[in-house]
Structure 1
């Protein structure tokens, strides 16, 4: 992982990382664009191109050794990252993709094969919150910090990206923040804010309400332990966390 800029105060590092990189291409990578079209045909949502560009810029500056993506879907966001790693010739030593759906997991495997990333990247199919709980339980039981992980995850990650459905995003952030390395950065997009009157019988609407209330809680709680930054962009607000120094 690249060294964090020493001349920048720690609380300003996230704003530095999420600034636009004028040296990066503006066009969507070809493979990512093809996956984007597939998502539209399947009626599935994804982050905006503006958000993907800025995430790519930040990850490019960080040059992480370990990357974890939660809610990888069919690999749209993954393809942006793999394109960045390939162009920069700066691949991580480990990249873990978590996806709950087995069929999507097969698609992700094909994407990794296409980028010849199988030697250093893996797909984990399972329920993300359960996987996080199992990893944290193992860490508590591990005898030493040098013990190799007995779960699908690394001991910690330089970059964690939280995708997944909007109502679940806050819970996933809370579950995976403990997996950040001391100088690691977590990224996600602010969940959808419920609008108007929501009927209690409206299952989707209530899920948005509960998910956004949980988001407010997570933001408040994590400010005690992490620096946060919010970057409003076309199509969403990119949010990042960096652990405070002990």
Structure 2
């Protein structure tokens, strides 16, 4: 991972990373655009082009060696990242992509081979919360590092990207924050905000309310241990965390 500019104070790093990089292309990568069309036909949602573009800009500036993506879907965001690595003519040493759906995992595998990224990409199919719990249990039971452990994760990711249903977003961030390197940055998009009155018998509506309350609690709690930055963009707000040096 590239060293941050010496003139930057630690609390300024996220502002620097979330700024637009005018040297990066504005157009959506061709492969990502094709996957985006597939998403529309499948009735699936994805982050907006503005959010993907700004996340790509941030990772381009950060140049992390170890990246973890939670919620790969059918690879739309992954395609943005592969395009970045290809244009930079340098890949990370490890790119771990976690996707719960086995069929989606197969699609991401095809994308991985399309970009010739087999040597440094690890596609993991399974429930992300359960996978994290298994990793934590293994870490407690052994002194070996994650690189040679029986879990799919490496230690100390320098960039983590979290996606998932809005009601689960806060829990996913909280679960994977310990996987972050002291100099690493965790990115996600602010979950949907519930609007209007929600009937207590509306399970989906109440899940959204509970999830957003958990999100607000998470933001408040993590500000004690992390620098947190919000970047409002078309289609949502990109949020980033950088550990404080305590």
Query: Please, what TM-score do these two structures have when normalized by structure 1?
Result: 0.97
- Give me the whole-angstrom Cα distance separating, in 2, the residues matched to 1:224 and 1:19: 24
- Give me the whole-angstrom Cα distance separating, in 2, the residues matched to 1:15 and 1:135: 32
- Shift in Å, 1:149: 3.1
Consecutive unaligned residues of structure 1, counting only runs of 5 or more, are: none
**Paired position in structure 1 for 2:97:** 97
Query: Equivalent residues in 2 for 1:61-100 (5 A)?
Result: 61-100=61-100
1:29 aligns with 2:25: no
**Paired position in structure 2 for 1:161:** 161
- Structure 1 stretch displaced more, 219-228 or 178-187: 219-228
Cα distance change of structure 1 residues 207 and 94 upon mapping to structure 2, 3 Å threshold: same
Matched position secondary structure for 2:241:
strand
Query: Equivalent residues in 2 for 1:193-212 (5 A)?
Result: 193-212=193-212
- Shift in Å, 1:147: 7.1
- Give me the whole-angstrom Cα distance separating, in 2, the residues matched to 1:29 and 1:209: 35
- Shift in Å, 1:156: 1.7
Encode CA deviations 1:5-34: one digit per residue, 9 max, x unaligned.
221110110010010000110000000000
Consecutive unaligned residues of structure 2, counting only runs of 5 or more, are: none
Would the aligned equivalents of 1:72 and 1:164 in 2 still touch at CA under 8 Å?
no
**Paired position in structure 2 for 1:232:** 232
Q: How many residues align?
A: 246
**Paired position in structure 1 for 2:52:** 52
**Paired position in structure 1 for 2:43:** 43
- Give me the whole-angstrom Cα distance separating, in 2, the residues matched to 1:36 and 1:120: 24
- Give me the whole-angstrom Cα distance separating, in 2, the residues matched to 1:162 and 1:245: 23
**Paired position in structure 1 for 2:171:** 171
- Give me the whole-angstrom Cα distance separating, in 1, the residues matched to 2:220 and 2:146: 32
- Give me the whole-angstrom Cα distance separating, in 1, the residues matched to 2:89 and 2:70: 24
- Give me the whole-angstrom Cα distance separating, in 1, the residues matched to 2:147 and 2:239: 32
Would the aligned equivalents of 1:51 and 1:233 in 2 still touch at CA under 8 Å?
yes
Matched position secondary structure for 1:28:
coil
- Shift in Å, 1:140: 2.5
Matched position secondary structure for 2:191:
coil
1:184 aligns with 2:189: no
- Give me the whole-angstrom Cα distance separating, in 1, the residues matched to 2:55 and 2:31: 17
1:135 aligns with 2:135: yes
- Give me the whole-angstrom Cα distance separating, in 2, the residues matched to 1:208 and 1:176: 21
- Shift in Å, 1:144: 5.6
